[in-house]
Amino acid sequence: MKEKTKIGIARYAQFHCLIARDGIVCGNCAHHCPVQAITLVENEDGRSYSHVDGVRCIGCGSCEYHCPAKPAAISVSTLPKSS
């Protein structure tokens, strides 16, 4: 099953995010995550920012692909190969 194979981990860079940078309501990364590893969490400023659950994230890259920010506010790094 693809949803159970962990190949990487997503990292969120709030300073690139359209929510923080331009005040735009987005959430594309959370909406397109096939394993619901990304949620939007409200901050003190009243805006909801992405939060990546590292345990649930499989590193598929859907979040990065669907992020409209340039550079992307969320990126996936591959996991080191285990021997």
pLDDT digits (tens, 9 = 90+) for 2-21: 667 889 999 999 999 999 99
Q: How far is CA 54 from the centre of its chain?
A: 10
What the block records as the tokens of 11 is: 């990292």
Query: Residue 70's pLDDT is what?
Result: 95
- For 21-71, the pLDDT digits (tens) are 998 999 999 999 999 999 999 999 999 999 999 999 999 999 999 999 999
Domain 7-77 belongs to what topology? Answer: Alpha-Beta Plaits (3.30.70)
Q: 3-state class of 14 per DSSP?
A: helix
Nearest to 51 by CA among 19, 4, 8, 5: 19
